[in-house]
Amino acid sequence: MEIVRIASPSRSEMRRQQELMRRFTEEWGFPSAQVMTRTDGIIKGAGLQKVDGLPVYNACVRIPGTYSQQKDAQSYKGQFPKVLLEGHIDTVNPAELLPASAPYVPVKLQKATDALVKTKAELAALPDELHFDKDGKIIEDANYKKAYQRYNDYEDALARGALRIYVPGYNDAMINTAAVMQAAYMLNKYKIKPVYDIWVCGTTGEEGKGNLCGMKQLYGYNQDTGKGNNALNFVANFGADSTSPGSGTVNYLGSYRFEIKYSEPAGIKVGAKQPSALMAMNRAIEMISNLKTPYDLDKKAERTTYTVGVGSCTPAPEGE
């Protein structure tokens, strides 16, 4: 809840990245040589440093393995094989980067028996919230103690006056990424030595129009050619991108993303038989959902899936 307070819209994750990298060395005990990312977005040895012309703000730390010390160890262009464990650090709300003078999003509290808020204004109006000190650490005051409770189930929580906690990006997907970072902390704390190096990363650009830039940098993936050079030599990938147990993703193939714009022809009015731009978009999404690939029929086939990440409408000018 401390790190997610830092607004981190897709392609503007630099502040959350910097806080993670600070904690790697100052709080979690990692030597600086094991922090593999730089605050300007550069990863030494990566086959791609910018995506869509913009820096990539991944936050990666390395757990050294034993393989490189073996006499028969094999490398690829100077890189020994490594495993990637990642969860993304960008979140949907707020959609814009907050000013540097006020970079944090409040963590609001509400009685669980009350109706869920539906608007940003309703959320802002909630009087109770968790408190944090000048260093961004949670203060264990009365509000914290009321919120930090455990219950047998949802019904038990309602009966015992539980509080609902509104945490930006918690479900998608900072709860997963926090677990990934906790794994890195524990591996380092107890000096666990894997065979291959493990890179634990908070990746960027998963949400909205982020174009999966974090993963593309790590794999050197060029969307124009549809190929990745994998200059860092990752041999396995574990993606913590789901809150459902057992549904994490192992390994990836690639990604193509397209932006499609619809405009409503002039003269169409409410009730007309011709579709509006919104209707046309909805129908296109329906057609995409009906597409079938070999993977739908045979899970051993190359995995291919389709998704629509963002759908939005631009209001017409006043009077039109």
pLDDT tens across the length of the chain (320 residues): 799 899 999 999 999 999 999 999 999 999 999 999 999 999 999 999 999 999 999 999 999 999 999 999 999 989 999 999 999 999 998 889 999 888 899 999 999 999 999 998 999 999 999 999 988 899 999 999 999 999 999 999 999 999 999 998 888 888 889 999 999 999 999 999 999 999 999 999 999 889 899 999 999 998 788 788 999 999 999 988 765 666 666 666 677 778 888 877 665 666 777 777 888 888 889 988 888 889 888 988 887 888 887 888 887 777 65
Whole-number Å distance between alpha carbons of 307 and 294: 16
Distances (CA, A) of 320 to 9, 121, 133, 261, 269: 32, 28, 50, 19, 10
Residue 71, C-beta contacts closer than 8 angstroms, at least 6 positions apart: none
Determine the distance from the C-alpha atom of residue 163 to the mean position of all C-alpha atoms in its chain, rounded to a whole number.
26
How are beta strands 82-88 and 234-239 bridged, if at all? parallel
Whole-number Å distance between alpha carbons of 74 and 80: 7
Q: Pick from 200, 205, 235, 230: which is nearest to 218 by CA?
A: 230
Q: Pick from 27, 28, 49: which is nearest to 38 by CA?
A: 49
What tokens were used for 98?
């907050």
Whole-number Å distance between alpha carbons of 81 and 198: 9
The model's pTM: 0.87
DSSP letters for 32-85: GGGB---TTS--TT-S-SEETTEE---EEEEE--SGGGSTT---BTTB--EEEE
Q: Are 72 and 203 in contact (CB under 8 A)?
A: no
What tokens were used for 162?
């539980």
